[in-house]
Every structure is written in structure tokens, then in C-alpha cells.
Amino acid sequence: MRIATVLGLAVTISVAPTLVRSATEPPSPVPVVSASALPASAAPLAMTTLVPKGTIIVVAIRRSFKSYGLSTGTKVTYDVVQDVIVDGNVIAKAGDVAEGQILNAHEGKSTLFSQEGANLRLSVDKLFTYCGDSIETDFARTEFRNKQGFMGSKKDVEVSKGQKYLVPTERAQKVCATKTSDVQSAPPSDALPGDKN
């Protein structure tokens, strides 16, 4: 009986310190992944790059317009067709929005004694980029219909939805951009230049 009691005390004494130590040990730290440890493709770093004057941006008009009944100053909205890359930096992405306006809209007239062609002139004035900058552009294009149909049956000129334009930047400008290994794609063959080009 005495031997058993002594052994029991011995076991209790030897185990108790272990329990105390485990209770007082600090918990293991939770690993933290910093942003710098992420792959570059997951979080590209924004930077600033200089966009030269005359850099071409391809846009497509969002809706159709006819010269008949159209008012000067009507807002025109466009979508960027393809990424714009300058010196290995993406300055604008496909889907970015550009805006302009109707500069002039005139219905054609045709009579037995006179004929006046229809015209529709529009602009692209500014592009709003994916990272919050805006790029000023210098583009205007006039569409004419000089010859009317028989007895004046065709009096309108129309710009169709999806029509693409080659829009140059108005001046050299610093904008935010992200690095890329891609190269600039060639502009679509059906994209039209402005009156100045």
C-alpha cells in the first residue's frame, strides 16, 4: 500500500510540469503572405509612362447615327477595340470608353433644279483608361453623300454601329500603365482615319 501510494505521487509529480509547460507555451504564429510574394501576373504594378503625340488608339462607335434630325453637340460613345501598348506598357485596354460628339449633321436635298449632299461629322475627344487616367485625342471625320437617289430618295448619310476609327492622341502625355510582354497588334483593316490623316 505504501509503495503504491508513493508511485502514484511520483507519476503525478512527473506529469504535472508537462501540463503546465504546454498551457503556458505561446500559440504558433499564423503565416502571413505579403503582396510582394504574389506572382507578378496576379497583381501588376502600376507605373507612369509617356504617351507620344499621335499614338493611335482604335475605337468602335457604340450605336448608329443618321444625319437626318441629328443635333450638333449630341454625345457619341466609343469602345476601345484593342489594348494600346507603348514601350512595353499597357496604357489603355480593350473595353475602355472614349467620348466625342456630333460636330455637324446635315440632311441632303435633291430637287429637279438643285442638289445638296448630306453630311455627318463626328469627333473623338477623350479616352478614359482602365486605371483612372484620361487621354486627350484629336480626331474628327466627315461622312458625305454627294449623290442623292433618283428624285431625292436617299437624303441621309449614316454611320453604322461598330464602325472603327484610327484615333491619334492630341499631345504627349504621361499616364498610368502596367508592364506587359505583349506587343502592339496591327490595327484592323476596316478602321477609318480622321479628316487630318
* Residue partners of 149: CB distance under 8 A and separation at least 6: 110
What's the pLDDT score for residue 157? 85
Candidates 164, 194, 175; CA nearest to 52 is 175
Query: What residues in the chain have per-residue pLDDT under 70?
Result: 1-45, 108-117, 145-155
**Beta bridge partners of residue 176, listed in sequence order:** 48
Q: Give residue for cell 507578378.
A: 40
Maximum separation of any 2 CA atoms in the chain, in Å: 136
pLDDT computed for residue 23 by the predictor: 45
d(CA 166, CA 196): 11
- DSSP H or E run through 21: helix 2-24
**What's the pLDDT at 144?**
80
- Measured CA to CA in angstroms, residue 32 lies from 29, 37, 38 at distances of 9, 10, 12
pLDDT at position 11: 40
Does pTM surpass 0.85?
Answer: no
Angle at 42 between CA 40 and CA 44, to 5 degrees: 55
Extract the C-alpha cell encoding 114: 438643285
Note the pLDDT of residue 70.
Answer: 87
Strand partners, 192: 165
Q: How would you label 38-57 residue by residue, b for 16+ Cβ within 10 Å and e otherwise?
A: eeeeeeeeeeebebeeebbb
What domains does the chain contain, in order, with CATH numbers?
A: 44-179 (2.40.128)
